[in-house]
Amino acid sequence: MIWLLLLVVAILILGHYGLPETVNPHDFQETPSAIKIMRGAEPFRLQGKTEIAFLLVHGFEDSPYTMRNLGELLHSEGHTVIAPLLPGHGTNVKDLARTRYEHWLQAVRDTYARERPRFRHFFLVGFSMGGNLCLNVAASLARQSPFENGAPLSSLTGMVCISAPVVLNGFLNGRPIIKDARLFLSGVFKNFINHIPKAQTAVSEKVMIPWVGYDDAYTMPALHSFKLGIARIKQKLYRIKEPVCLIHATSDKTVHIENMHYIFRKVSSHEKRAFVFKLDEDLSTHHVLVTHQLVREKVFHYLLEFVHDTLKGFDLKPVVFTPGGSKKNWLDKLRRFRG
């Protein structure tokens, strides 16, 4: 009986972690040729006139198409928008099967390192896995301190995470979270099964939530890496001190909303916001809020509100209080400085 119990435990551990594999994060970083990229999944860059830039990061098996409308909105305000195509995405599932979480994270890091020095203010905006990658980049920046003109070159102005996960299967905030029971054994399955089918999407859902990506199946080796990779940020969230905005749906069937609550509690940001939506429709997973016809305008509204408030905070002049005077006079001075 004990041997049987030990065998079950061993299978569960192997099923969760899988066998170790060596990953070179710098592999697969070249952008595929235009002819190989599926229509609508192309990376894009919209050059603006301000000193403000946004790096938009799409999700797992997703593409920059999801971030296109948001990018155009930000660009309409004069800002620069960069939306890369993550390795293995936007082409075919064979390419995705060769890539891992480390490749996707390295792509975001490289883009940030290349683009950040060109702008005064820089925001990270990520959807789903893209939000997790943004959190990871922000946490790693906390250990860097190159300076230019007295300001940290590596610092972020702010970050927005939409439907971002830190756990698919596991425990969060004292409660069990199970996205898919098959993920408990993904470390074993990935050696024998390349793909597992997704639930068929209704035509009405495709109209309600436009999307370009791999919609037929999950690629098991990449999915297993995704599952393990997103959880590594849990121990690093305390490093994040930049302003953070979290956006989620209460009934998200892909990434449980407990993920948002966990991130909100763990980040050390003095300024953090969480916007939660309730969707009154049963046609979708309530996950892809960025393109959802019923809620995307609200998502854009709250995102812009966060951006504007964050930029205003950076531009405020310091308030100098001179000795003497009453508390009321100090408050009057503060109001005048804030306009």
State the CB neighbour count (10 A cutoff) for residue 79: 22
- What's the rounded Cα separation, in Å, for the pair 108 and 57? 8
State the CB neighbour count (10 A cutoff) for residue 234: 16
- What's the rounded Cα separation, in Å, for the pair 129 and 255? 10
Give me the pLDDT at residue 148, please: 41
Under 8 Å CB-to-CB from 202, ≥6 apart: which residues?
283
- What does DSSP assign to residue 254? S
**Residue 260 identity (one-letter amino acid):** M
Give me the pLDDT at residue 202, please: 59
Give me the pLDDT at residue 54, please: 98
Helices and strands, number each (H, E), in the chain: 11, 13
Q: How far is CA 178 from the centre of its chain?
A: 20
What CATH number belongs to 2-337? 3.40.50.1820
Q: How many CA atoms lie within 13 A of 108 on its CB side?
A: 28
In degrees and rounded to multiples of 5, residue 41 shows phi and psi of -95, 5
First and final CA of the chain: distance in angstroms?
Answer: 74
Give me the pLDDT at residue 215, please: 87
Which string of DSSP letters, residue by residue, matches 20-34?
-----TTTT-SPPPT
Q: Three-state SS for 336?
A: helix
Give me the pLDDT at residue 153, please: 45
Tokens 């099967």 sit on residue? 97
Give me the pLDDT at residue 316, please: 53
Q: Do 131 and 163 touch, CB atoms closer than 8 A?
A: yes
Which string of DSSP letters, residue by residue, matches 204-231?
HHHHHS---S--SEEEHHHHHHHHHHHH
- For the chain, residues with pLDDT lower than 50 are 146-153, 319, 321, 323, 339
Nearest to 46 by CA among 34, 57, 58, 54: 54
